Amino acid sequence: MSQQENYQIRRSQRAQRARIVVTADKVEVVAPLRMPEKQIQQFMRAKQTWIEAAKNKVQQHVDNIVSFAPDSYQHGVKIPYLGKKYLLHIEISQQTQIRIEFSQSFIAYVPEKFKKMHNESALNEQIRLALINWMGQAAAKQALKVTDQFAPLYKLRPRSISIKTQKSRWGSCGIHNDINLNWLLILAPAEVFEYVVIHELCHLQQRNHSAAFWALVARHCPGYQLQRRWLKKNGASLMLGL
């Protein structure tokens, strides 16, 4: 892929003509393998008005995205978890590290020395990082719970499940039957989390998004369209994380 002025060029064997893709962080032209760069430059110049309008539209969409996360991590704010929001309580402890517990609400046990060593902004960041770590562990437990429930029923057993930070994907299934899940899914409703796990489990049998694949998903997750719609509507907010 090459860089020209303020856009990127990506060559594609399948492309029969040039097309432009505008996202929040880049402008990309997908061009046929043999299309001369001079012709691509002419194409981009001719499309400049369209590109600027598309960039403005994307930016307006980005500006309107509302995060599920609180603005800060102080006592009394609400933390998203499995589709709901729970109060955060902060308590001083004699431990050496911040510890997170959850029951009917989140409790962040903050070492007394942290209060003395960190200003409010730095302490907020430490609590946020502790919550992210806790959410990652919770996502791993939730993934195991869903897999144990569905994998034996349909003989769709992955080799491994990993929880990762992913910027643009909710899950993936590798060629060796390793499933990766985005930890941010633990902030979504449990039904959405379950759908994504089932989606990736079905890829163990169908390595595509064909009609046969979606029929398999529907058999294991009736009404999955509701969860897909939730992700389409709320996915951008979810991706902002904590």
What is the 3 state secondary structure string of the chain? CEEECCEEEEEECCCCCCEEEECCCCEEEEEECCCCHHHHHHHHHHCHHHHHHHHHHHHHHHHCCCCCCCCCCCCCCEEEECCEEEEEEEEEECCCCCEEEECCCEEEEEEHHHHHHCCHHHHHHHHHHHHHHHHHHHHHHHHHHHHHHHHHHHCCCCCEEEEECCCCCCEEECCCCEEEEEHHHHHCCHHHHHHHHHHHHHCCCCCCCCHHHHHHHHHHCCCHHHHHHHHHHHHHHHHCCC
State the residue for tokens 């994907």. 169
Indicate whether 69 belongs to any domain: no
Picking from 140, 147, 126, 199, the residue whose alpha carbon sits closest to that of residue 169 is 199
What is the spatial distance between Cα 148 and Cα 142, in angstroms, rounded to a whole number? 10
What is the spatial distance between Cα 42 and Cα 29, in angstroms, rounded to a whole number? 12
Same domain, 235 and 164: yes
Indicate whether 168 belongs to any domain: yes
Q: Is the pLDDT of residue 232 over 80?
A: yes
Q: Is the pLDDT of residue 128 over 90?
A: yes
Same domain, 23 and 43: yes
pLDDT of amino acid 65: 79
Same domain, 154 and 233: yes
Same domain, 229 and 143: yes
pLDDT (tens digit, 9 = 90+) per residue, 64-86?
778 899 999 999 999 999 999 99
- Domain holding 143: CATH number? 3.30.2010.10
pLDDT of amino acid 3: 44
pLDDT band of residue 1 (cuts 50, 70, 90) is: very low
Same domain, 57 and 24: yes
What pTM was estimated for this model as a whole?
0.75
Range of the domain at 195: 138-239
What is the spatial distance between Cα 82 and Cα 193, in angstroms, rounded to a whole number? 8
What is the spatial distance between Cα 206 and Cα 216, in angstroms, rounded to a whole number? 8
Q: Is the pLDDT of residue 116 over 80?
A: no
Same domain, 223 and 168: yes
Q: Is the pLDDT of residue 153 over 80?
A: no
Indicate whether 73 belongs to any domain: no
Same domain, 127 and 165: no
Count Cβ atoms below 10 Å from residue 195 Cβ, excluding itself.
27
What is the spatial distance between Cα 203 and Cα 113, in angstroms, rounded to a whole number? 49
Q: What percent of the chain has pLDDT over 90?
A: 65
pLDDT (tens digit, 9 = 90+) per residue, 39-52?
999 999 999 999 99
- Tally of structural domains, the chain: 3
Same domain, 174 and 217: yes
Same domain, 152 and 126: no
